[in-house]
Homo-oligomer: A and B are copies of this chain.
Amino acid sequence: MDKIARIDMGAAGGPKVTVGDLGAYAGLGGRAMTSIVISTEVHPLAHALGAENKLVIAPGMLSGTTGSMTGRLSVGCKSPLTGTIKESNAGGQAAQVLARLGYAAVILEGKPEGDDLYKIYISKDGIQVIVDNSLKLLNNYPVIEKLRGEYGDKVAYMSIGSAGERKLLAASIACTDPELRPTRHCGRGGVGAVMGAKRVKAIILDDAGMKMRPPKDPDKYRDANRAFVEGLRKHPVTGQGLPAYGTNVLTNVLNEAGGYPALNFKSGQFEGVAKICGEAQAELEIKRGGSATHGCHRGCVIQCSGIYNDKDGKYVSKQPEYETVWSHGGHCGIDDLDVIARLDYMDDNIGVDTIEMGVTIGVAMDAGLAAFGDAEAAIRLVEEVGNGTPLGRVLGCGAEITGKVFGVERVPVVKGQALSAYDPRAVQGMGVTYATGTMGADHTSGYAVATNILKIGGDIDPLKTEGQVELSRNLQIATAALDSTGMCLFVAMALMDQPETFQAMFDMLGSFHGTSMTGEDFVALGKKVLSAERDFNTRAGFTKAHDRLPRFFYTEQLAPHNIAFMVKDEELDEVFNW
């Protein structure tokens, strides 16, 4: 990872590739790389779909090594959905392969004239940018099927579906899993629309002939990794809950806590949870010959994913995540896992964020476009997105646009991005993160659910305001650093409870790079990333007025606790005062 490739898609005479050294970006990876490049190089008032925006693709600091859990790929740009800076990361194989190819970042720049569509092939021999109009308006599964015929099964693929090509604001970028399914998505913030605006349909990453990245201190790295894996295996969440039930293990937990936002955030509990919870899902998956335990990339020891088959044992989709089951399920009043899995597949195929898409359908239901609970209508609405009809384009642009076009007042978004499966009134710490996060509402950016509900890393009452700002601050800092390492966020569950596991990860970082990495260094890295992001956002016009939840969270009480969001504005304004 000693080079950066810049691909000017708008160069005169056709796309132009330049490969250079890291310069000022040396040592950065993942989110640190994407956010610092974007904050440094992109005009904060650039049109997100214009030539001035850039799409930065960066493996994490430890990606492409023998270290476990290091397969996250970060994609960054100015977001067309939120107008903020954006980093969106995904699992799958892409990060490992790109890192082994030696690229700390591939940066798509400019914007071509004309309608040609491109694919980019990156191998040990360099980078080719190739016109391939045969891929036009194909969705992700057919795109990968077609590319596999050409490039085979020993590569990793990134691609956009029709949504990205149409520049819909909720468009995602798909990364293939080990079995080459386009199921791991950089979902949030419309990064797929930026790739689409640059007319790049797919990136093929081929590391044939390349080796694992070598640590500076191989012995220490191996030992640290071993301790790290042991820590993950012994923690109940990463060692048992997630492997057995996947993220959907949370459905019952949040519903019991009264923080499961049902029917477009009208209640904190949903009567249909028993039919869509992780336990029911895992049982069904196993019964139908799918799997409740599967890794999205090689080297994963948590294996929180799975395979969801239909009643005839035929593949439907990867195991839908908790937030997806919620967004298409309880949020829309739908309690049928088969419908939810089908919607999950449709989202992955069309290439839209499952959270934004599901929340949008719920907002459309509030607008009267369909009744809550009407599964067929939900499917029909997502089909519209795939067909690119005017209605589909609206829905594919997310909850905020849909709310505006259909005159809906209750639209659960912050900075234009949909909230997810945790009601901020019943999980007040999560509300702080939603409100203040640098990229719009994003539960992953400071997962206060851990300490509010799961009691990981402490115990802070989710229904009170005390301690929530500090909790969210610390989580946002740690997450910004973790998102830079290439590590899956789920390792945090073990890190927060087990200091020795945290130390093992520091030792992996230090021994790999031949430097030291302490807790202070890690915090400093997180603050550096957040500061770059906040600086970009400030220059783009974001203020503390944008670090707020929609008004209805303050004015409407949530059952069963009958509670509003109570964290004061002045407290929210303290999140980044460290």
A-side interface residues toward B, CB under 8 Å? 43-47, 49-50, 52, 80, 166-169, 193, 196-197, 389-391, 393-394, 397, 401, 404-407, 409, 539-546, 548, 550-552, 555
Q: Are A409 and B50 in contact (CB under 8 A)?
A: yes
Closest B residue by C-beta to A550 = B47
Closest Cβ–Cβ distance, residue A367 to chain B (whole Å): 10
Give the CA-CA distance A196 to B407 in the complex, in Å: 10
Set of chain B residues within 8 Å of A80, measured between Cβ atoms: 404
Set of chain B residues within 8 Å of A552, measured between Cβ atoms: 47, 50
Q: Are A551 and B47 in contact (CB under 8 A)?
A: yes
Closest B residue by C-beta to A569 = B45
Q: Are B393 and A397 in contact (CB under 8 A)?
A: no
In the complex with contacts A50-B551, A390-B394, A404-B169, A44-B409 CB distance below 8 A: no
Q: Which of B196, B405, B409, B555 interacts with A390 by CB under 8 Å?
A: B405
Set of chain B residues within 8 Å of A168, measured between Cβ atoms: 407
Q: Are A409 and B49 in contact (CB under 8 A)?
A: yes
Give the CA-CA distance A540 to B544 in the complex, in Å: 9
Q: Are A551 and B394 in contact (CB under 8 A)?
A: no
Give the CA-CA distance A45 to B193 in the complex, in Å: 29
List 3 A-B pairs, minimum CB-CB distance, nearest first: A541-B545, A167-B407, A390-B391
Give the CA-CA distance A405 to B168 in the complex, in Å: 7
Q: Are A193 and B407 in contact (CB under 8 A)?
A: yes
Q: Give the dominant DSSP class at A's interface.
A: loop
Set of chain B residues within 8 Å of A52, measured between Cβ atoms: 551, 555
26 A-B contacts (beta carbon < 8 Å):
A43-B551, A45-B548, A45-B551, A46-B551, A47-B409, A47-B552, A49-B407, A49-B409, A50-B409, A50-B551, A50-B552, A52-B551, A80-B404, A168-B407, A193-B407, A196-B407, A197-B409, A390-B405, A393-B405, A394-B405, A397-B404, A401-B404, A405-B405, A539-B545, A540-B545, A541-B544
Q: Which of B49, B405, B544 interacts with A397 by CB under 8 Å?
A: B405
Set of chain B residues within 8 Å of A401, measured between Cβ atoms: 401, 404-405
Q: Are B405 and A545 in contact (CB under 8 A)?
A: no
Closest B residue by C-beta to A169 = B404
In the complex with contacts A169-B404, A390-B390, A407-B49, A545-B44 CB distance below 8 A: yes
Closest Cβ–Cβ distance, residue A411 to chain B (whole Å): 8
Set of chain B residues within 8 Å of A50, measured between Cβ atoms: 409, 551-552
Closest Cβ–Cβ distance, residue A189 to chain B (whole Å): 14
Give the CA-CA distance A52 to B554 in the complex, in Å: 12
Closest B residue by C-beta to A398 = B404
Closest Cβ–Cβ distance, residue A324 to chain B (whole Å): 24
Closest B residue by C-beta to A389 = B390
In the complex with contacts A390-B394, A401-B401, A551-B43, A166-B407 CB distance below 8 A: yes
Set of chain B residues within 8 Å of A540, measured between Cβ atoms: 545
Give the CA-CA distance A551 to B404 in the complex, in Å: 24
Closest Cβ–Cβ distance, residue A419 to chain B (whole Å): 15
Give the CA-CA distance A391 to B390 in the complex, in Å: 5
Closest Cβ–Cβ distance, residue A199 to chain B (whole Å): 12
Q: Are B545 and A45 in contact (CB under 8 A)?
A: yes
Set of chain B residues within 8 Å of A551, measured between Cβ atoms: 43, 45-47, 50, 52
Set of chain B residues within 8 Å of A394, measured between Cβ atoms: 390, 393-394, 405
Q: Which of B196, B390, B393, B543 interacts with A543 by CB under 8 Å?
A: B543
Set of chain B residues within 8 Å of A409, measured between Cβ atoms: 47, 49-50, 197
Give the CA-CA distance A401 to B403 in the complex, in Å: 11
Closest Cβ–Cβ distance, residue A118 to chain B (whole Å): 17
Closest Cβ–Cβ distance, residue A446 to chain B (whole Å): 21
